[in-house]
Amino acid sequence: MIGVFDSGIGGLTLLQEIIRHLPNEQYCYYADTENVPYSTKSEEQIKEYVENAVNYFLQRKVKTIVLACNTATNVCIEDLRSRLSIPIIAIQPAVKVAVDNDKSVINSQRKNILVCATPITLRSVRFQRLVDSLNADKIVERMALPELVKLAEKEEFGRLAEEYISNTLQQIDISKFSSIVLGCTHFTYFEPLFYQLAPQLSIFDGNEGTARHLKNILSKLNLISIKGKIPFSVEYIESGKPTQNLERFQRYIARIEQLN
């Protein structure tokens, strides 16, 4: 079984991508519904919440844990990796993909990259290290969009979200940018709105890269399930308990399927 964790329903966008890469697995998706959003919490609180989820996964004897939450990754990943013996795969903003895309645009001036994420992700040491490792400090601009997490949790994908994104984009000179990186798994639901409001920009998230990375790691460890051996399944857990609202998860998954 593979454990996939997020503060809420954002990580379902990564889960769906993982299922496309690894279709014969059993999945346990853990949404910390009682505590979402994490971006308004202290790092100590987030560590405690993630610890609860990790302990739940360990009891379930998962073979790997996927942190499908950029915010939790930035707060906890080093500590988790130093303590746990199973592989911990973690999403991070797809800045490298955007930088590579920027370089590939021949004969054009290098443009800037707008990274949209939660405030915790954007001010983290880990994010700064990522930007520095790509020598991209001069071209990366940060934009915190914490309201999008709340809107996604409330299934508000229409007018309110459009106004919020549009107002935010109006604060910057969009012509300076080549791309937007959606550095929070909740933001992927709004990808069509970003395309609509900034049609000239490329939009990236970390889902594809993380799913590929997970597959490579499991393959190296010989941990990929063989077709037909165990049936594909997904369980949805909310803050440690099986969900009482499967329909809600199904509505989000239907929305993700429309994105692809």
Cβ at position 65, least distance to ligand DGL in Å: 15
Cβ at position 121, least distance to ligand DGL in Å: 6
Q: Return the residue of 64, 112, 124, 185 that touches ligand DGL, per CB under 6 A.
A: 185
Residue whose CB is less far from ligand DGL, 39 or 112? 39
Q: Does 95 bind ligand DGL (CB under 6 A)?
A: no
Has 116 been annotated as catalytic?
no
Tell me the C-alpha distance between 198 and 79, whole Å: 38
**Closest C-alpha among 148, 257, 253, 256 to residue 197:** 148
Q: How many CB atoms are closer than 10 A to CB 207?
A: 23
Q: Does 13 bind ligand DGL (CB under 6 A)?
A: no
Q: For residue 37, say if its preceding peptide bond is cis, omega within 30 degrees of 0.
A: yes
Q: Return the residue of 2, 6, 53, 54 that touches ligand DGL, per CB under 6 A.
A: 6
Q: Does 182 bind ligand DGL (CB under 6 A)?
A: no
Residue whose CB is less far from ligand DGL, 22 or 144? 144
Has 69 been annotated as catalytic?
yes
Q: Does 210 bind ligand DGL (CB under 6 A)?
A: no
Residue whose CB is less far from ligand DGL, 4 or 99? 4
Task: Tell me the two tokens of residue 115.
Answer: 């990274």
Cβ at position 97, least distance to ligand DGL in Å: 16
Q: How much of the chain is helix, strand and coil, in % rounded to 5? A: 50, 20, 30
Segment 129-168, which members bind ligand DGL (CB under 6 A)? 149
Q: Return the residue of 28, 31, 36, 140 that touches ligand DGL, per CB under 6 A.
A: 36
Those residues whose C-beta lies under 8 Å from the C-beta of residue 206, and which sit 6 or more positions away, are: 14, 70, 91, 92, 93, 94, 97, 183
Tell me the C-alpha distance between 208 and 191, whole Å: 14
Task: Tell me the two tokens of residue 47.
Answer: 């560590």
Residues annotated catalytic, as ranges: 69, 184
